[in-house]
Structure 1
């Protein structure tokens, strides 16, 4: 039997010391991320064992539910890695003029401020999920999206460029459940535009 793929939680200690998002908040959030990694590994192991035994069947409700659950846990793991990767203490207020990211935002939205207003509007909509900017691999255009849960509404084949966790667990040590807009303000004080720009094709 092939070796089971296993993921190791990544070290995101670099996100400590953010502006408006406390270290206590981050510690709790990183524990939650590690839980996604652990469950992704456990589900992968179970599903691989079912396949190796020749028992994979879409008619089997256990196999079907484990497979669906893997999409949730796997996406939860990966989304959090994008999220923590695109934040850093001491970040610039906005992407530098003339840079690849700024040019892509302006080409897609006309101007940076239009993109920002659109992203903020999406990020403060009621519900649980993620606000993300994606790049269309065919056209290079950028677009903002609300992602339900972790895996629903992701445009197929599009690449995440900027990722913001909009679930309450991302901010409720620091802000009330009704204060997501304040959290969004804090998030934008900590966006590592350099990291985001590296994701642009």
Structure 2
């Protein structure tokens, strides 16, 4: 079954992110969905043709992680934003866990922003390690490199140039401000209880 691109047009009009920037970004995301489907179909056909041991199959298999993660990371990124943003509820277990692991919400935010301000392309991910029950802000250089094995992404910020250059040039700090103003911290009560209690 083919993956379908999700519609994130409800984000148009988000303060600090121009509609042109968002539309370009949506198009890029749709390309990841298209390429994920193409690679899945090609790999399946090659498998049926007995070409699983070929160098071509191997390289396409490696490429699949890039396209699939590009698709999924963008879905998380767009999915954790809303026009006007929604602040985190200080009564949630998520908020309490941030305070426990980082000392304060403000310290967590400084760290997340600091990771986002690092030079280079990539992603910033707030991960939850369900085994040890810890939160980490992590830099991912490429879609398919640097993920914390077994950890669940909670919040994603895209810091590839396409996410900010049209609006901010090389001044990433303005983009990070706009992102923070658009974060939707709505937390499902059942998930909050299950993960962080």
TM-score scaled to structure 2, two decimals?
0.93
Greater fraction helix: 2
CA distance change for structure 1 residues 199 and 26 in 2, over 3 Å: closer, same or farther? farther
* Structure 2 stretches lacking a partner, 5+ long: none
- Whether the aligned pair in 2 keeps the contact of 1:160 and 1:199 (CA below 8 Å) is no
Q: How far apart are the structure 1 equivalents of 2:188 and 2:175?
A: 19
What is aligned with 1:66?
60
What is aligned with 2:183?
191
Q: How far apart are the structure 2 equivalents of 1:19 and 1:171?
A: 13
How far has the Cα of 1:54 moved from its partner?
2.2
Does 2:135 correspond to 1:142?
Answer: yes
Could you say what secondary structure the match of 1:189 adopts?
A: helix
Does 2:17 correspond to 1:7?
Answer: no
* Structure 1 stretches lacking a partner, 5+ long: none
Runs of 4+ in 1 over 3 A off after TM superposition: 195-200
CA distance change for structure 1 residues 18 and 199 in 2, over 3 Å: closer, same or farther? farther
CA distance change for structure 1 residues 113 and 163 in 2, over 3 Å: closer, same or farther? same
What is aligned with 2:71?
77
How far has the Cα of 1:139 moved from its partner?
2.3
C-alpha deviations, 1:97-142, integer Å up to 9, x for none?
A: 1212211211211211111111111001001100110000112211
Q: How far apart are the structure 1 equivalents of 2:120 and 2:191?
A: 27
- Whether the aligned pair in 2 keeps the contact of 1:19 and 1:89 (CA below 8 Å) is yes
What is aligned with 1:45?
41
CA distance change for structure 1 residues 50 and 199 in 2, over 3 Å: closer, same or farther? farther
Q: Which deviates the most, 135-144 or 27-36? A: 135-144
Equivalent position to 2:174, from 160, 176, 182: 182
